[in-house]
Amino acid sequence: MERLEGGLDAFLFDFSVAAGNAGKPAEQDALLRQMVEEAQENKAEDARRYHRALVTKAYALLSTDRDDEAFDAISAALATLEASGGDGHFFNTVSESGDALMTPASAEMTAEIYQRGMTSPLFASTTSPGRAPSLCSTMPSSCVIRGRMMRRCGCICPQ
């Protein structure tokens, strides 16, 4: 059943992106809403599917140049992930969504996503590999994007 649900989610994602690219944001929103609602119905049994649906919604919006709405969707997904205590998925989403926003969206949005990860209560206690060594708690918030760049070239943030 999980494979079928994942296939349906992929189908809804693909069609939502097509609708967005065709200039039909209302249809895109309806498809994304259906994907999230169906995943939410089984949230107790499959929380990961629900979390994936929230993140996927954000990426669908981002891929159709709806940056502000994508940022709001990413923020909502991060809030849900943080509340669930799933630190691995939370920090991977911070990292991936920060990278995704870095190109099309503003630097302020990207910095806010990374700052969200660094100030999360999960940050102090996680052992997740999604927590980048360069994003330490001593780094000033104004250096968040630079810190990300430092991680890419192999440097680490001063402790």
42-60 per-position pLDDT tens digit: 887 778 888 888 888 988 9
Q: What is the pLDDT of residues 49-100, one digit of tens each?
A: 888 888 889 889 988 889 889 889 888 888 888 888 877 788 888 888 887 7
* pLDDT value at residue 32: 92
Residue with tokens 């809030």: 79
Q: Please give the mean pLDDT across all residues of the chain.
A: 74
pTM above 0.75, yes or no: no
